[in-house]
Amino acid sequence: MKILISPAKKMREEPDLPPQSAPVFLTQAKRLARYLAGLGYERLKKLLACNDEIARLNYRRYQRMDLERRTSPALLSYDGIQYQYMAPGVFTYDQLEYVQQNLRIVSGLYGLLQPFDGVVPHRLEMQARLQTDFCRNLYDFWGDSLARQLISDGENTVVDLASAEYSRAILPHLPPHVRCVSPVFAQLEGRKLAEKGVYVKMARGEMVRFLAETNAKTPEQMQGFHALGYQYRQELSQPDKPAFVKG
């Protein structure tokens, strides 16, 4: 079973924690980084769709970026809400082994990451309007390569805990025999399920922790999840879309 999650916009360096491996798509990441380093400040700011402070930070990052030096393990480098609730920094050895085997991070710059691949702080969302002489956008750049890498070990079950922006880079390219399970984290408003962004991110992080703690082998084991007030509701679920409802 492979578990997909999104990266986070906020990143930090962990210089005292050496990575265990290099990203499998490092050559492609270098190509993207070189292109971004060649952009002027205003073009980069427009591409990243961010404020001046974030644009200046990432302009400096790309100007001096070396993807093979001062790298940190990916899982410990991202610092968004999902990662805070996952809290990988306090995983046991067995839980770290579990995520190394099962968890994959989808990245605009790096493509597909294992938890202990070495990365540097950066910002590049998958939906960024990156139009170059070698790609129309990042979905075009990555094509079906991420999906092929994800199941290169013969895996035939994917649990999608990524946002739609990142899932789109992989799920449409999976062959029909691969089962994809996409949990829904929602609140019941009247008769409708309403997903609310920040709570979904929190729940996705907690779900990764739950799967690691229970050494889950199948998506059905997610049904025991009850963190943050969520509970599995069979009557509100659809095939391969288990519903976890809060309150």
Which tens digits make up the pLDDT trace of 153-162? 999 999 999 9
* Averaged pLDDT of the chain: 96
Return d(Cα 113, Cα 98) in angstroms, integer.
15
> Which two structure tokens, joined as six digits, stand for 159?
């649990």
What pLDDT score does 76 carry? 95
DSSP class of residue 5? Answer: E
Q: How confident is the model at residue 247 (pLDDT cuts 50, 70, 90)?
A: confident
Return d(Cα 17, Cα 7) in angstroms, integer.
19
Return d(Cα 173, Cα 164) in angstroms, integer.
14
Return d(Cα 120, Cα 218) in angstroms, integer.
33
**Per residue in 68-85, pLDDT tens?**
999 999 999 999 999 999
Look at the block and give the residue holding tokens 């009557």.
235
**Per residue in 189-223, pLDDT tens?**
888 899 998 999 999 999 999 999 999 999 999 99
- The amino acid that residue 141 corresponds to is F
Return d(Cα 125, Cα 107) in angstroms, integer.
8
Return d(Cα 76, Cα 88) in angstroms, integer.
7
The interaxial angle of helices 52-63 and 41-48, nearest 10 deg, is 120
pLDDT at 30 over 90: yes
Are 18 and 93 in contact, with CB atoms under 8 Å apart? no
